[in-house]
Amino acid sequence: MRILHAIKTGALLAYTALVGAVLPGATGLAWAEAVKPVSSTALYSVWRVSGKELSAKTRKDFTVAVERCWNTAALSDEAVNVTMVIGLTIGPDRKPVADSLRLVEAKGGSEAAVQQAYEAARKAILLCGRRGFPLPAEKYEAWRELELVFAASGATQ
């Protein structure tokens, strides 16, 4: 079962759902569209873990760590409207594997805007992960492979 967890500037949004029950068969941005942020201008990210469940505290700590380094101020107006899913592998040392970062899918902008938004998110993941993310070692199999949804505008269409 996939777990969706929405985080807004370090605080939980008023939306958490078991994707398998709420959106059977949904993948990528299709499941992210169900997330309705509290504010349409707030920075937030949504991420899912396939197969295993992590505690709310672990999910929150990880998301806050990435948000700390995500510089949306440097994005163009068009890039701010991009919503994207980024997949990555995290090593046993809790650091992101740099060559594993990949754009799974994106919507809301031109190819150039998507690339700009992706590079900003990629830098945030690598920068804040360089010393290791706050993830419990005993849950490595649960967080080894992650997909994160980034939406700088705070709105998913």
Summarize pLDDT for 69-85 with one digit per residue, the tens. 888 888 999 999 999 98
Question: Higher confidence at residue 31 or residue 131?
Answer: 131
Q: What is the rounded distance in angstroms from the CA atom of residue 154 to the CA atom of residue 157? A: 10
What pLDDT, on a 0 to 100 scale, did the predictor assign at position 50? Answer: 55
What pLDDT band is residue 44 in, cutting at 50, 70 and 90? very low
Burial class (CB in 10 A: 0-12, 13-18, 19+), 73: exposed
Three-state DSSP state, 80:
helix
The answer to whether the beta carbons of residues 67 and 133 sit under 8 Å apart is no
- pLDDT of 26 strictly over 60: no
Phi, psi of 29, deg, nearest 5: -70, -20
What pLDDT, on a 0 to 100 scale, did the predictor assign at position 113? Answer: 96
Q: What is the rounded distance in angstroms from the CA atom of residue 39 to the CA atom of residue 41? A: 5
| b/e burial code for range 45-64 (CB count within 10 A of at least 16 → b) | bbbbbeeeebeeebbbbbbb
Looking up tokens 């993310």, which residue turns up? 133
What pLDDT, on a 0 to 100 scale, did the predictor assign at position 121? Answer: 92
C-alpha dist (Å) from residue 58 to 2, 80, 120, 134: 16, 27, 23, 7
What pLDDT, on a 0 to 100 scale, did the predictor assign at position 127? Answer: 94
What pLDDT, on a 0 to 100 scale, did the predictor assign at position 11? Answer: 26
What pLDDT band is residue 111 in, cutting at 50, 70 and 90? very high
pLDDT tens-place string over residues 142-153: 888 888 888 877
- pLDDT of 16 strictly over 70: no
- pLDDT of 155 strictly over 50: no
